[in-house]
Protein backbone atom coordinates (compact mmCIF):
# COMPACT_ATOMS: atom_id res chain seq x y z
CA UNK A 1 0.00 0.00 0.00
CA UNK A 2 2.79 2.40 0.82
CA UNK A 3 4.51 1.83 -2.51
CA UNK A 4 1.33 2.91 -4.34
CA UNK A 5 1.17 6.12 -2.30
CA UNK A 6 4.82 6.82 -3.01
CA UNK A 7 4.21 6.32 -6.70
CA UNK A 8 1.25 8.67 -6.51
CA UNK A 9 3.41 11.33 -4.91
CA UNK A 10 5.98 10.98 -7.67
CA UNK A 11 3.37 11.56 -10.34
CA UNK A 12 2.07 14.59 -8.44
CA UNK A 13 5.57 16.02 -8.36
CA UNK A 14 5.97 15.51 -12.09
CA UNK A 15 2.63 17.19 -12.62
CA UNK A 16 3.69 20.15 -10.51
CA UNK A 17 6.94 20.55 -12.48
CA UNK A 18 5.01 20.36 -15.75
CA UNK A 19 2.73 23.13 -14.50
CA UNK A 20 5.77 25.22 -13.52
CA UNK A 21 7.33 24.72 -16.98
CA UNK A 22 4.06 25.79 -18.59
CA UNK A 23 3.92 28.91 -16.43
CA UNK A 24 7.55 29.71 -17.25
CA UNK A 25 6.74 29.51 -20.96
CA UNK A 26 4.08 32.23 -20.64
CA UNK A 27 4.77 35.62 -22.20
CA UNK A 28 3.91 38.39 -19.73
CA UNK A 29 3.80 42.01 -20.89
CA UNK A 30 2.83 45.11 -18.93
CA UNK A 31 0.85 47.31 -21.32
CA UNK A 32 0.23 50.33 -19.11
CA UNK A 33 0.79 51.58 -15.58
CA UNK A 34 -1.22 54.57 -14.41
CA UNK A 35 -0.94 56.49 -11.15
CA UNK A 36 -4.32 57.74 -10.01
CA UNK A 37 -5.07 60.07 -7.11
CA UNK A 38 -7.97 60.18 -4.69
CA UNK A 39 -8.37 63.52 -2.95
CA UNK A 40 -9.04 63.11 0.77
CA UNK A 41 -9.10 65.49 3.72
CA UNK A 42 -5.34 65.31 4.37
CA UNK A 43 -4.26 65.59 0.72
CA UNK A 44 -4.02 63.05 -2.09
CA UNK A 45 -3.90 59.27 -1.86
CA UNK A 46 -2.09 57.67 -4.78
CA UNK A 47 -2.75 54.21 -6.15
CA UNK A 48 -1.81 52.37 -9.34
CA UNK A 49 -3.74 50.74 -12.19
CA UNK A 50 -1.94 48.14 -14.29
CA UNK A 51 -2.98 46.50 -17.57
CA UNK A 52 -1.18 43.22 -18.36
CA UNK A 53 -1.26 40.76 -21.27
CA UNK A 54 -0.28 37.10 -20.75
CA UNK A 55 -0.02 34.49 -23.51
CA UNK A 56 1.66 31.25 -24.47
CA UNK A 57 2.73 32.34 -27.97
CA UNK A 58 0.67 29.54 -29.58
CA UNK A 59 -2.75 31.12 -30.08
CA UNK A 60 -3.86 31.53 -26.49
CA UNK A 61 -3.73 34.66 -24.31
CA UNK A 62 -5.60 36.74 -21.75
CA UNK A 63 -5.74 40.29 -20.42
CA UNK A 64 -5.84 41.41 -16.81
CA UNK A 65 -6.37 44.63 -14.91
CA UNK A 66 -5.12 45.20 -11.38
CA UNK A 67 -5.45 48.06 -8.89
CA UNK A 68 -3.43 48.49 -5.70
CA UNK A 69 -1.52 51.02 -3.61
CA UNK A 70 1.83 49.62 -4.79
CA UNK A 71 2.93 48.81 -8.33
CA UNK A 72 4.21 45.31 -7.56
CA UNK A 73 0.96 44.17 -5.94
CA UNK A 74 -1.07 45.75 -8.77
CA UNK A 75 1.00 43.80 -11.32
CA UNK A 76 0.48 40.60 -9.32
CA UNK A 77 -3.29 41.12 -9.27
CA UNK A 78 -3.31 41.88 -13.00
CA UNK A 79 -1.27 38.75 -13.80
CA UNK A 80 -3.59 36.48 -11.83
CA UNK A 81 -6.60 38.10 -13.53
CA UNK A 82 -5.03 37.61 -16.98
CA UNK A 83 -4.26 33.94 -16.35
CA UNK A 84 -7.92 33.35 -15.47
CA UNK A 85 -9.20 34.98 -18.68
CA UNK A 86 -7.33 32.97 -21.33
CA UNK A 87 -9.00 32.73 -24.76
CA UNK A 88 -7.99 30.85 -27.90
CA UNK A 89 -7.94 32.31 -31.41
CA UNK A 90 -7.71 30.75 -34.84
CA UNK A 91 -4.57 31.53 -36.80
CA UNK A 92 -3.48 30.79 -40.35
CA UNK A 93 0.21 30.01 -40.00
CA UNK A 94 1.87 33.02 -38.38
CA UNK A 95 -0.87 35.49 -39.33
CA UNK A 96 -4.65 35.87 -39.05
CA UNK A 97 -7.05 34.28 -41.58
CA UNK A 98 -8.81 37.49 -42.69
CA UNK A 99 -9.13 41.19 -41.94
CA UNK A 100 -11.48 42.53 -39.30
CA UNK A 101 -12.49 45.85 -37.74
CA UNK A 102 -13.55 45.59 -34.11
CA UNK A 103 -14.86 48.11 -31.62
CA UNK A 104 -14.99 48.42 -27.84
CA UNK A 105 -16.56 51.65 -26.54
CA UNK A 106 -14.71 54.47 -28.38
CA UNK A 107 -11.71 52.33 -29.40
CA UNK A 108 -11.68 50.82 -32.89
CA UNK A 109 -8.95 48.54 -34.23
CA UNK A 110 -8.29 47.43 -37.81
CA UNK A 111 -6.52 44.05 -38.12
CA UNK A 112 -5.28 42.77 -41.50
CA UNK A 113 -3.30 39.64 -42.40
CA UNK A 114 0.21 40.19 -43.74
CA UNK A 115 2.63 38.25 -45.93
CA UNK A 116 5.32 36.16 -44.24
CA UNK A 117 8.29 38.26 -43.17
CA UNK A 118 6.29 41.46 -42.69
CA UNK A 119 6.42 41.35 -38.90
CA UNK A 120 4.07 42.91 -36.38
CA UNK A 121 3.20 46.42 -37.52
CA UNK A 122 1.18 47.71 -34.59
CA UNK A 123 1.07 50.24 -31.77
CA UNK A 124 2.09 49.37 -28.22
CA UNK A 125 -1.10 47.81 -26.77
CA UNK A 126 -1.98 45.88 -29.95
CA UNK A 127 1.65 44.74 -30.38
CA UNK A 128 1.75 43.31 -26.85
CA UNK A 129 -1.42 41.30 -27.44
CA UNK A 130 -0.28 40.03 -30.86
CA UNK A 131 3.07 38.90 -29.45
CA UNK A 132 1.33 37.14 -26.55
CA UNK A 133 -0.88 35.23 -29.01
CA UNK A 134 2.14 34.36 -31.16
CA UNK A 135 1.07 36.28 -34.27
CA UNK A 136 4.23 37.01 -36.29
CA UNK A 137 2.85 38.85 -39.36
CA UNK A 138 0.01 41.35 -39.04
CA UNK A 139 -0.92 44.91 -40.04
CA UNK A 140 -2.96 46.96 -37.57
CA UNK A 141 -4.25 50.48 -37.10
CA UNK A 142 -5.90 52.04 -34.05
CA UNK A 143 -8.88 54.21 -35.00
CA UNK A 144 -10.78 56.41 -32.59
CA UNK A 145 -9.67 56.23 -28.97
CA UNK A 146 -6.02 55.86 -27.92
CA UNK A 147 -6.91 54.55 -24.45
CA UNK A 148 -4.82 51.35 -23.94
CA UNK A 149 -7.59 49.53 -22.05
CA UNK A 150 -10.19 50.10 -24.78
CA UNK A 151 -7.67 49.32 -27.55
CA UNK A 152 -6.62 46.00 -25.95
CA UNK A 153 -10.24 44.97 -25.41
CA UNK A 154 -11.19 45.94 -28.98
CA UNK A 155 -8.23 43.91 -30.30
CA UNK A 156 -9.26 40.90 -28.24
CA UNK A 157 -12.83 41.15 -29.56
CA UNK A 158 -11.52 41.32 -33.13
CA UNK A 159 -9.19 38.35 -32.70
CA UNK A 160 -12.00 36.27 -31.20
CA UNK A 161 -14.13 36.98 -34.32
CA UNK A 162 -11.62 35.25 -36.61
CA UNK A 163 -12.69 32.08 -38.43
CA UNK A 164 -10.58 29.89 -40.75
CA UNK A 165 -13.26 29.31 -43.40
CA UNK A 166 -15.95 31.55 -44.82
CA UNK A 167 -18.62 28.94 -44.15
CA UNK A 168 -17.89 29.16 -40.43
CA UNK A 169 -18.51 32.93 -40.38
CA UNK A 170 -22.01 33.61 -41.72
CA UNK A 171 -23.03 37.21 -42.19
CA UNK A 172 -19.64 38.47 -43.37
CA UNK A 173 -21.11 39.51 -46.70
CA UNK A 174 -18.73 37.34 -48.72
CA UNK A 175 -19.86 34.62 -51.10
CA UNK A 176 -18.99 31.01 -50.44
CA UNK A 177 -16.51 29.55 -52.90
Per-residue pLDDT of the chain (177 residues; tens, 9 = 90+): 555 555 544 444 455 655 555 556 899 999 999 999 999 999 999 999 999 999 999 999 999 999 999 999 999 999 999 999 999 999 999 999 999 999 999 999 999 999 999 999 999 899 999 999 999 999 999 999 999 999 999 999 999 999 987 555 556 555 554
pTM of the model: 0.80
- Can you tell me the distance from the alpha carbon of 32 to that of 153, in angstroms, rounded to the nearest whole number? 13
In sequence order, what are the residues at sequence separation of 6 or more whose Cβ sits closer than 8 angstroms to the Cβ of residue 48?
33, 34, 35, 36, 67, 68, 69, 70, 71, 74
Q: What is the pLDDT of residue 166?
A: 57
Q: Say how many CA atoms lie within 13 Å of 165 toward its Cβ.
A: 4
Inter-residue contact 31 to 124 (CB < 8 Å): yes
Max Cα–Cα distance, the chain, nearest Å: 68
Q: What is the pLDDT of residue 164?
A: 85
Amino acid sequence: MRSNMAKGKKTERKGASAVREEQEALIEKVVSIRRVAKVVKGGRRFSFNVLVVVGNGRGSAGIGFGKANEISSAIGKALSSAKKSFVNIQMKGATIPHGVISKFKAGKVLLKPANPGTGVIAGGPVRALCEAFGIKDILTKCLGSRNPINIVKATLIGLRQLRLSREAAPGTGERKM
